Amino acid sequence: MARINANYDKLTAGYLFPEIARRAAEFTDANPGVQIMRLGIGDTTEPLTAIVSGGLHAAVDRLSNSDTYSGYGEGEGNESLRQALADRYAERGVQLNASEIFISDGAKSDSANIQSLFSNDAVICVQDPAYPVYVDTNVIVGRTADAVDGQYEGLVYLPCTEANGFVPEPPSERVDLIYLCNPNNPTGAVATKAQLQAFVSYARENKAVIIFDAAYSAYITDPDLPRSIYELDGAAECVIELNSFSKDNGFTGLRLGWTIVPKALVTEDAAAGKVNTMWRRRQNTFFNGPANIVQEGALAALSPEGRRQSAEMVAYYKVNAKTIRDCLQSIGLTVFGGVNAPFLWMKTPDGMDSWAFFDKLLTETHVVGTPGSGFGPSGEGYFRLSAFGHEPDIARAVQSIRENLKL
């Protein structure tokens, strides 16, 4: 008599983006002919760079030829790609062995699956607001009770507020796993070296493990801000860092990311090296490596010319971020982020409810954004806008906000 995993029933019903799509469709149906402009979803819009495109075509040709075809790859990803990533970290003084880097089908998958390495009774700590995957996956595997007022009992939340510049202090209680997203989705905040060092110190003192999601790190241009947490002393003992090719190379649909599990990492009951071995076993048992052609595209992206073209793509989106930021400030709104991050975090006018502002923005300007409350209770009264979009579309959206939003 099979029974289901009843933890699924604890998930609070509507996932954010389907609800946004529903309201946008409702508006379009009621207002035929009106063109909706999207400034909300974190989806890339610019085409693959020429060098990545060439790398993918070459990979397809290789697989189409009897002499060069290959089948299964390594569950942890191609050695050459892992080495190329290690070399890139080395430029910033971070020494990693290729065997500490695992290629995957995206930072989302890894941020979802990494918790499975730890004990069922691990106490989980997340930022509030946060990327929903960190929370939902721990709910599904049973590390929480039900949600009350938008927060799951059994999780520890660190509020990110205007008062702390959206970068919280480490928790005051004992926790086991801490999810940090930096640059942050949704707030666009980026932690300083000192702020990150406080988390590393906490983790080392408490033998906690930090899951550090650096998927937006390519947007950090301020030289004083660390791009990898391993730039900090002691981080290799207590941090698993995730990253992605999505946002700086447009791989959102190609699916490619990586996770670093340092051999130095320790837990209460695991000596150095063990967690690294466990993740290798996990990836070779539950996964078989990402698509080989996509890995070859990524290898092209890491070549000197690939990195130049990737930097251009990031610069393009960063101009969008500035355009949106300048517009919102010019009409008197308060906005955070969008400088070393692709996300902007806007305070709703007059403390308006996030969803009420969503409806107002849609109705008055035909622009769709993302209500902050969708990322957690501390997101209430905020609104996320994203720099991903074609520049002319961003310009039109911004013009409409400037001309039509009634403040």
Q: Tell me whether residue 60 or residue 90 sits nearer to a copy of itself (CB atom).
A: 60
Q: How many CB atoms lie within 10 A of CB 140?
A: 16
Strands 335-337 and 343-347: antiparallel
Q: Tell me whether residue 100 or residue 110 sits nearer to a copy of itself (CB atom).
A: 110
The values of phi and psi at residue 213, to 5°, are -90, 105
DSSP state of 73: -
- Residue whose pair of structure tokens reads 């209770």 in the numeric block: 377
Question: How far apart are CB 234 and a copy of itself at their closest, in Å?
Answer: 15
Q: Tell me whether residue 68 or residue 164 sits nearer to a copy of itself (CB atom).
A: 68
Q: Tell me whether residue 6 or residue 163 sits nearer to a copy of itself (CB atom).
A: 6
Question: How far apart are CB 66 and a copy of itself at their closest, in Å?
Answer: 5
Question: How far apart are CB 218 and a copy of itself at their closest, in Å?
Answer: 16
CA angle 251, 254, 256 (to 5 degrees): 70
**Element spanning 384, H or E:** strand 382-386
Q: What is the 3-state secondary structure (H, E, C) of 271-312?
A: CCCHHHHHHHHHHHHHCCCCCHHHHHHHHHHCCHHHHHHHHH
33: tokens are 């002919």
β-strand partners of 156: 125
Q: Which long-range contacts (CB under 8 A, 24 or more apart) does 271-277 make?
A: 275/117, 275/240, 276/99, 276/100
β-strand partners of 128: 159
Question: How far apart are CB 68 and a copy of itself at their closest, in Å?
Answer: 8
Q: What's the rounded Cα separation, in Å, for the pair 304 and 298? A: 12
Q: Tell me whether residue 142 or residue 165 sits nearer to a copy of itself (CB atom).
A: 142
Question: How far apart are CB 197 and a copy of itself at their closest, in Å?
Answer: 19
Question: How far apart are CB 44 and a copy of itself at their closest, in Å?
Answer: 5
155: tokens are 């999780």
DSSP state of 41: S
Q: Tell me whether residue 184 or residue 246 sits nearer to a copy of itself (CB atom).
A: 246
Question: How far apart are CB 360 and a copy of itself at their closest, in Å?
Answer: 27
CA angle 369, 374, 378 (to 5 degrees): 110
Q: Tell me whether residue 61 or residue 233 sits nearer to a copy of itself (CB atom).
A: 61
- Nearest-CA neighbor of 147 among 377, 355, 383, 379? 377
Question: How far apart are CB 59 and a copy of itself at their closest, in Å?
Answer: 9
Within 8 A by CB and 6+ apart from 236, the residues are 230, 262, 264, 265
Sign of the alpha-carbon dihedral angle for 398, 37, 183, 10: positive
Q: Tell me whether residue 89 or residue 343 sits nearer to a copy of itself (CB atom).
A: 343
Question: How far apart are CB 79 and a copy of itself at their closest, in Å?
Answer: 14
Q: Tell me whether residue 75 or residue 337 sits nearer to a copy of itself (CB atom).
A: 75
